[in-house]
Amino acid sequence: MTADYDAGIVGLLILSEEAVRGLLRMEDLIPAMEGALAALSRGHVVQPVRVMLPVAEHGGFFGLMPAYAGALGAKLVTLYPNNQGVPTHHAMILLFKPETGEPLVIMDGRLITEMRTGAVSAVATRLLARPDASVLAILGAGVQARSHLEALRHVRPFREVRVWSPRNAKTFAERFGLTAAPSAEQAVRGADVVVVATTSETPVLLGEWLEPGTHVNAVGAPRPTWRELDDETLRRARIYVESREAAMRESGDIIAAGRAPLEIGEVVAGTAPGRQSPDEVTLFKSVGVAVEDVVTADLVYRKAARR
């Protein structure tokens, strides 16, 4: 994860979302996220917990997420959960030359946030889901549902995918050739892997729906008072996160669990166990951490520098 920038790019580069889209591929991103998570758990990343500034008047939040992991940078991100017709997240990522502090690039971070979240869940799914997992349930039908559908298909060959959303499940299912479930429970019952990717502030997944051996990726409810998982889910599951420090401060679900989780990077590094039995329920709770954004932006920048 060392920085080796192309001196051929002079001055500050600016990359739009479409430029990022043309450079970023999920098959490259998943192994990059695996390396970043391992580096984080090994203590090779300098990364404070994100600063979140409430914009209470408009029901939003503004976040600052810096990290140094060979690449040096920060993401500025907004979260407006009640947005309609525009994304709930917007972001910009800045990279700097580690040797001198010179700014190198400003790039749109919305798509990076979308894709790196799915890629990180793919790392967790590869490590924690049963090898024979074949049925995927997705709760939610937004950008994270789309990203997870793409990313998880890189690590498991699902024969059936069900999606549930209070509003958009049918449209999403028709677009991607999936099954629209009439309820969250009917989507989850019998699934081997479950993705919870909604904007809900109260639990949408109940532990009583989960079959033995299920793996859950939960990527919503990123505030200390928000929940997307009920107490039974937390009680049944062996819990993994990206960063213990971040999750125990930011995630209402992890706070409610009342115990320290394992880090998925520890599993990558071989210092913590993964799935222990075919019947074990595993849970990866993602809050999103800065090293994921900075490493992804570095991947994009390197590709841009070669063009």
pLDDT, tens only, 208-256: 999 999 999 999 888 899 999 999 999 999 999 999 999 999 999 999 9
pLDDT tens-digit map of 107-129 = 999 999 999 999 999 999 999 99
pLDDT tens-digit map of 29-46 = 999 999 999 999 999 999
Q: Are 41 and 268 in contact (CB under 8 A)?
A: yes
Asked whether the predicted pLDDT for residue 271 surpasses 60, the reply is yes
Percent of the chain exceeding pLDDT 90 equals 89
Q: What is the DSSP letter of 229?
A: B
* CATH superfamily assigned to domain 13-113+291-305: ornithine cyclodeaminase, domain 1 (3.30.1780.10)
- pTM more than 0.95: no
Distance CA 251, CA 270 (A): 25
Locate 127 and state its tokens. Answer: 């490590």
Candidates 3.40.50.720, 3.30.43.10, 3.40.50.2000, 3.30.70.260; CATH matching 130-288 = 3.40.50.720
What is the average pLDDT value for the chain, to the nearest integer? 94
* CA 175, chain centre distance (Å): 22
Which residues are 186's β-sheet partners? none
Q: Are 285 and 253 in contact (CB under 8 A)?
A: yes
Side by side, which strands form the sheet with 60-69?
13-15, 103-108, 89-96, 71-79, 60-69, 51-55
Count CB atoms within 10 A of the CB of residue 31: 12
Burial of 239 (C-beta count, 10 Å sphere; 0-12/13-18/19+): buried
Asked whether the predicted pLDDT for residue 74 surpasses 70, the reply is yes
Q: What is the pLDDT of residue 167?
A: 87
Over residues 39-61, mean pLDDT: 95
Q: What is the pLDDT of residue 10?
A: 53
What H or E segment, with its residue span, contains residue 2? none
Cβ partners under 8 Å of residue 140, min gap 6? 163, 164, 165, 195, 196, 197, 198, 199, 220
Q: What is the pLDDT of residue 89?
A: 86
φ and ψ at residue 73, rounded to 5 degrees: -175, -170
Tell me the pLDDT band of 88, cut-offs 50, 70 and 90: confident
Q: What is the pLDDT of residue 6?
A: 46
Distance CA 169, CA 88 (A): 18
- What stretches of the chain show up as alpha helix (H) in DSSP? 17-23, 26-41, 110-128, 143-152, 169-176, 184-188, 231-236, 244-250, 252-257, 264-269, 290-305
Beta strand pairing status for 71-79 and 89-96?
A: antiparallel
The structural domains of the chain, with segments of one domain joined by +, span 13-113+291-305, 130-288
Distance CA 307, CA 303 (A): 7
pLDDT tens-digit map of 134-168 = 999 999 999 999 999 999 999 999 999 999 999 89
Distance CA 24, CA 223 (A): 28
Q: Are 269 and 42 in contact (CB under 8 A)?
A: yes
Q: Are 89 and 112 in contact (CB under 8 A)?
A: no
Asked whether the predicted pLDDT for residue 11 surpasses 80, the reply is no
Q: What is the pLDDT of residue 5?
A: 45
